Amino acid sequence: MGSTRQRILQIVQRRRTETVAGLARELGLAATTVRRHLDILQRDGMVQFGEVRKKSGRPEYAFSLTERGHESMPKGYDALLSGLLREFGELDARQIAGKTGAEAVEAVLTRLGRAAALRYLDPHAGGRAAAAVRALREMEFEPQVQDGPNGTRISLSNCPFRSVALSDDAVCSFDSAMLEAILGTPVKRERCISRGHDCCEYLAEAGTRPADLTGSATDTAGVSKTDGSTAAVERAVASAGGGPSGVDARGDLT
């Protein structure tokens, strides 16, 4: 796929919907050029459009990603499966005693998330907030962070496990556990693609969020450029083991 069309997909995903005029401004291209790219993306089943209601003037259309468009973005299914197989292979009867299958899956995903947090818990690397943003960016969650009166809101524009999450939100235990372990504070999942929302969104409530979850850590609106989500997630989920801040990824399932 051409780099311009890839950028269009990234922008539309991050903003949920975008018009031709908005894309033209962002890309520095003529509207006619943007329309040609959108025609190709629509032909390929990557984007769809709907009319934007206006009080007057010509109708305007906003574009959004189709499910195929979302799936064309970076994904980490193979890394997640590898981590799950490894963790389940290391379980013994004592660790899963009394648990249903669903409870065991959620517990293992939570443990994977805590394990992934370990490689970002570096006290010399700019604080917990910066570490959380770095982790989410490297795993291609495309985070956007915004401070508000109720706390700090973390929106995830991309889900590396999207098709799994749409069928079972237990997989969200991975990213919520990772965020809580890195931030050192509880987070509340307020929006989720499995519930029909256009993105997943977490809230670190005011009074519980770490003091450094402000300032430059909120500057995350740009499209991240990483070495690919599969490699990043694989490195993260492969890092299970004891670590700082009381996080122990190898303990009993809880």
Which domains can be identified in the chain, with CATH numbers?
3-71 (1.10.10.10), 77-237 (3.30.1380)
Look at residue 117 in the predicted model and tell me its pLDDT: 95
- Calculate the average pLDDT of the chain: 84
Which position has the higher pLDDT, 84 or 243?
84
pTM: 0.78
* Number of residues that make up the chain: 254
- Segment 134-156 mean pLDDT: 93
